[in-house]
């Protein structure tokens, strides 16, 4: 992943595909990306209508620079094939596929998209949410050039592990770490899972901070009230940006002068620090551009 380019995915909000008002409301929300949901948020007898509604909303546009994706039903469901065909025609930024457990699962989705004529920009966002997916995360992440994003399904993972939801998420840290390693080794984006208690503002923000510290690119959300904390926590702060500018300026000046050693405020600066600083500045620039829509 190029450290000097950045697509903001701080806040990725699930919106129910069966709710026309929600799809319209999403156009004005401060989300970096949207997941228009055909899976959990839609009753079985409403799947077909929701599919038509979501694909029409994507085709009609109006979401500005926000990334718009569609979550389809799982590979083992009766709706999956029709979902993928419809998404391929609508051409969103991504197709979010639940319970990806193997390389074969990714390739099946990729093959179906290509067979249905999906544009190249419709990328696969693979949800990893089972023990087998944790153990095979690197193979999954590396399985396709079309696969761009790993999405943690922490609710299902906790269920499969028979683990409790506790502050700090100790039971899930092994799985989170394995998937983070896989994403970084493969140059893919990775999004943290949802936080279930929309009234627990302090708990949500603490989990955002933990997610950023671990290395996640952003967080999936279930309610618009979670947008502001996620956008703030997963963005570089003013102090971080000031340090980044100092590092880049000092490095450029030292390079121009032919100096082999660069220091900022008494601290030696290496290439890795410059790359981190450039990424923070690119992130801030991309966020500013997105906020202007």
Are residues 97 and 21 part of one domain?
yes
Phi, psi of 36 (to 5 degrees): -80, 115
What local confidence, expressed as pLDDT, does residue 113 receive? Answer: 98
What local confidence, expressed as pLDDT, does residue 2 receive? Answer: 45
95 contacts 122 by C-beta, under 8 angstroms:
yes
Stretches in the chain below the pLDDT threshold 70: 1-5, 292-293
What is the C-alpha to C-alpha distance for residues 84 and 11, in angstroms, rounded to an integer?
Answer: 24
- For the chain, the maximum distance between any two Cα atoms, rounded to a whole number of angstroms, is 69
Are residues 253 and 227 part of one domain?
no
Report the number of distinct structural domains present in the chain.
Answer: 2
Residue that terminates a domain, selected from 185, 202, 233: 233
Residue that terminates a domain, selected from 233, 251, 281: 233
pTM exceeding the 0.85 threshold for the entire prediction = yes
Are residues 205 and 284 part of one domain?
no
Which pair of structure tokens corresponds to residue 282? 């690119």
Are residues 183 and 260 part of one domain?
no
**Residue 262: inside a domain:** yes
225 contacts 195 by C-beta, under 8 angstroms:
no
Residue that terminates a domain, selected from 233, 248, 278: 233
Are residues 206 and 258 part of one domain?
no
What local confidence, expressed as pLDDT, does residue 1 receive? Answer: 44
Are residues 79 and 223 part of one domain?
yes
Are residues 218 and 83 part of one domain?
yes
Please tell me the total number of residues recorded for the chain in this structure.
Answer: 293
What is the C-alpha to C-alpha distance for residues 33 and 187, in angstroms, rounded to an integer?
Answer: 19
What is the C-alpha to C-alpha distance for residues 149 and 128, in angstroms, rounded to an integer?
Answer: 10
Are residues 190 and 104 part of one domain?
yes
Contacts of 182 (CB under 8 A, 6+ apart): 137, 138, 140, 141, 142, 150, 188
**Residue 63: inside a domain:** yes
**Residue 210: inside a domain:** yes
pLDDT, tens digit, for every residue of 136-168?
999 999 999 999 999 999 999 999 999 999 999
**Residue 211: inside a domain:** yes
185 lies in which domain range? 11-233
Are residues 195 and 55 part of one domain?
yes
**Residue 191: inside a domain:** yes
**Residue 75: inside a domain:** yes
**Residue 16: inside a domain:** yes
What local confidence, expressed as pLDDT, does residue 3 receive? Answer: 46
DSSP summary character for residue 4: T
Cβ count within 10 A of residue 95? 26
What local confidence, expressed as pLDDT, does residue 283 receive? Answer: 81
C-alpha 108 chain-centroid distance: 21
Are residues 124 and 219 part of one domain?
yes
Percent helix, strand and coil across the chain, each rounded to 5?
Answer: 50, 15, 35
**Residue 245: inside a domain:** yes
Are residues 133 and 100 part of one domain?
yes
What local confidence, expressed as pLDDT, does residue 292 receive? Answer: 61
Of the chain, the end-to-end C-alpha distance in Å amounts to 25
What local confidence, expressed as pLDDT, does residue 4 receive? Answer: 46
Residue environment code for 138-161, b if the CB has 16+ CB neighbours within 10 A, otherwise e: bebbbbbebbbbbbbbbbbbbebe
What is the C-alpha to C-alpha distance for residues 70 and 110, in angstroms, rounded to an integer?
Answer: 15
What local confidence, expressed as pLDDT, does residue 220 receive? Answer: 98
CATH number at residue 60: 3.20.20.60
Q: Compute the radius of gyration of the chain from its Cα atoms.
A: 20
């Amino acid at each position: 992943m190029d450290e000097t380019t950045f697509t903001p995915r701080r806040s990725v909000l699930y919106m129910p595909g069966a709710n026309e008002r929600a799809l319209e409301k999403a156009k004005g929300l401060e989300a970096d990306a949207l997941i228009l949901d055909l899976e959990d948020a839609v009753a079985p007898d409403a799947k077909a209508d929701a599919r038509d509604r979501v694909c029409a909303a994507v085709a009609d546009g109006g979401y500005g620079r926000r990334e718009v994706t569609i979550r389809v039903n799982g590979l083992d469901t009766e709706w999956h094939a029709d979902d993928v065909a419809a998404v391929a025609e609508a051409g969103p930024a991504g197709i979010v596929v639940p319970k990806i457990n193997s390389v074969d699962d990714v390739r099946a989705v990729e093959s179906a998209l290509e067979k249905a004529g999906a544009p190249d920009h419709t990328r696969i966002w693979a949800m990893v949410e089972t023990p087998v997916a944790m153990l095979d995360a690197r193979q999954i992440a590396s399985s396709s050039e079309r696969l761009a994003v790993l999405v943690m399904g922490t609710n299902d993972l906790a269920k499969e592990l028979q683990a409790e939801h506790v502050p700090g998420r100790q039971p899930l840290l092994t799985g989170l770490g394995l998937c983070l390693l896989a994403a970084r080794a493969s140059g893919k984006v990775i999004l943290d899972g949802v936080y279930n208690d929309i009234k627990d503002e302090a708990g949500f923000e603490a989990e955002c901070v933990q997610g950023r510290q671990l290395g996640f690119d952003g967080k999936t959300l279930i309610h618009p009230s979670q947008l502001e904390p996620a956008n703030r926590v997963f963005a570089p702060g003013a102090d971080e940006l000031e340090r980044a500018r100092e590092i880049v300026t000092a490095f450029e000046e030292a390079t121009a002068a032919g100096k082999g050693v660069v220091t900022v405020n008494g601290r030696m600066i290496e290439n890795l620090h410059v790359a981190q600083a450039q990424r923070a500045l690119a992130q801030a620039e991309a966020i500013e551009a997105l906020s202007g829509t």
